Structure 1
């Protein structure tokens, strides 16, 4: 079955809603506020995780969270101009592969240069 496009969204729509998500929050003056992040291209996005363990693996075990359905998260962030929800992101780059240390360079002897000005 082909996937359908949603409005102006250039990405194909999901076949199933993401369901209840674990959304990272921070304390605010009126309670909790959803944390917003940026995509690699700099666009603001709301973030949700499918399990508390995935949230803790990415943001740390002390990260506060609330449980929200994906449509509720979209409705919460839409007035802020955030239209993207990223589910289970990997917010850190993987560790680089080890590379061998470069070979030491031999010192180069200085060269004397004389200039004649006429």
Structure 2
């Protein structure tokens, strides 16, 4: 139950009619949740069109209890680029040179 002293956090979500909490990974690869103090702070990091909900910290912690989440990062300054799988070098088709007769 939310008390009047619990500030509401702005938490990123996915979806529109049914939303799910968006989790992130730390630099070490551990799952974490992020929360922001305002919609503007969220927009600066994730973009203006990103979905969000307002929720208290105790309610967020209850949602995360069984998800093996390291913790909550409040107002992260930015994000690291997503890791992309290593790609094999692009192979170009062999070009055959033909002598003019």
Above 0.5 in TM-score? yes
Structure (1 or 2) with the larger CA radius of gyration: 1
Contact 1:77-1:83 at 8 Å conserved across structures: no
Greater RCO, CA 8 A, separation 6+: 2
Report the secondary structure of 1:79's partner residue.
Answer: coil
Aligned residue number for residue 77 of structure 1: 64
Is 1:63 the counterpart of 2:50 in the alignment? yes
Unmatched 5+ stretches in structure 2 = 81-101
Unmatched 5+ stretches in structure 1 = 1-16, 94-118
The TM-score, its normalising length taken from structure 2, stands at 0.67
Offset from partner CA, 1:40-65 (integer Å, 9 cap, x none) = 11111111000110000000000000
Aligned residue number for residue 33 of structure 1: 20
Offset from partner CA, 1:59-110 (integer Å, 9 cap, x none) = 00000000010111111111111140110012336xxxxxxxxxxxxxxxxx
Provide the aligned length of Structure 1 versus Structure 2: 76
Please report how far the alpha carbon of residue 18 of structure 1 lies from its aligned counterpart in structure 2 after TM superposition: 7.2
Instruction: Quote the Cα distance in structure 2 between the aligned partners of 1:38 and 1:55.
Output: 17
Q: CA RMSD in A?
A: 2.1
Instruction: Quote the Cα distance in structure 2 between the aligned partners of 1:68 and 1:27.
Output: 16
